[in-house]
Amino acid sequence: MPELPEVETIRRTLAPVLVDATIVVTLRGERPDDILLDPWPSFAHRVRGQRIVGLERRGKYLAIRLADDHYVLVHFGMTGELQLARPNDPPARHCHLAFVLRSSRAVPGIATDRKGRFVLRYYDVRRFGQIGLLTADEWSRHAARLGPEPFDPQVDPVALWRQLGRRRAPVKAVLLDQTLLAGIGNIYADEALFRAGIHPLRRCATLSAPEVERLLTALRDVLTAAIQERGTTIRDFRDGRGEKGTYQRQLQVYGKRAGTPCPRCGTPLERVRVGGRSSTACPRCQPLARDAPRSPLNDVQRQR
């Protein structure tokens, strides 16, 4: 599933091309009703002729802002992709809808037809993604339901420690809860927990304040590096120009087979299930200390 770095990469790829372009028409592909939150005729009619004025991202959501202050909201599900193409290029399988666009200016790095048109196609093999048209108020309310992003300077390790202290669930499961921190999924939760030396099955209430501070730093470092590498491509992810990400070359534990030597200490890695998700951890670098005492608040304040 595209997580924060992948969606940010898509946004950065598409923004220079889409901003100031006008939606000429929307083309029906395979089974668009599986993807759209609105009836097909209504959606196609309402976006026709609209100029794109911005691309925003919130957590794992991409929002294409239109001139009439509506937003085309895209959630990519497991295998969703937005791909740029020439109008005459035939779509591949699993293309569910396409926007034909025209730009009044030169489109950087995109081949257009003689009328200056190009296409943005939405592909989704598993059809878990969603696309809908929202008003500005609806988009604001939706964004407000998500937690802050790890990069938000207002995300304070002490406040985060207090929040986690009220949870008895495993820390990996809570990291995937988008109402706590938005944008984190399976890949970057595993990688950050490994960097922080915290087992995915550790109960949140057992985490010390210094551990939570270490975890927040690890999340920020991993997400920053993944954005710089334009995301992680395990199987499906491509940016708007069809290019793969490269952060998979830096993965330490995510997706590794059980028994693979830990990249830090050589101990065989283990695979565990957390909330129905498979997770990889090192039992030595990430000890499962379920009954670890929580540090006093002033311990972390003295360290900061």
User: Which residues are known to be catalytic?
Assistant: 2-3, 60, 277
Q: Which two tokens stand for residue 154?
A: 């207002």
The alpha carbon of 37 is separated from its chain's Cα centroid by a whole number of angstroms, namely: 20
For 211, how many CA atoms within 13 A lie in the half-sphere containing its CB?
A: 25
Q: How far is 183 from 301, CA to CA, in rounded Å?
A: 27
Q: How far is 283 from 289, CA to CA, in rounded Å?
A: 10
Contact 35, 131 (CB under 8 A): yes
Q: Which residues are CB-neighbours of 297 under 8 A, at least 6 positions away? A: 158, 161, 209
Contact 52, 66 (CB under 8 A): yes
Q: Is 198 exposed, middle or buried (0-12, 13-18, 19+ CB in 10 A)?
A: buried
Q: Is the dihedral of CA 174, 178, 183, 185 positive or negative?
A: positive
C-alpha closest to that of 293 among 193, 218, 211: 211
Helix (H, G, I), strand (E, B) or coil at 122: strand
| Beta strands 277-281 and 270-274, pairing class | antiparallel
For 63, which DSSP code?
E
Q: Is 56 exposed, middle or buried (0-12, 13-18, 19+ CB in 10 A)?
A: middle
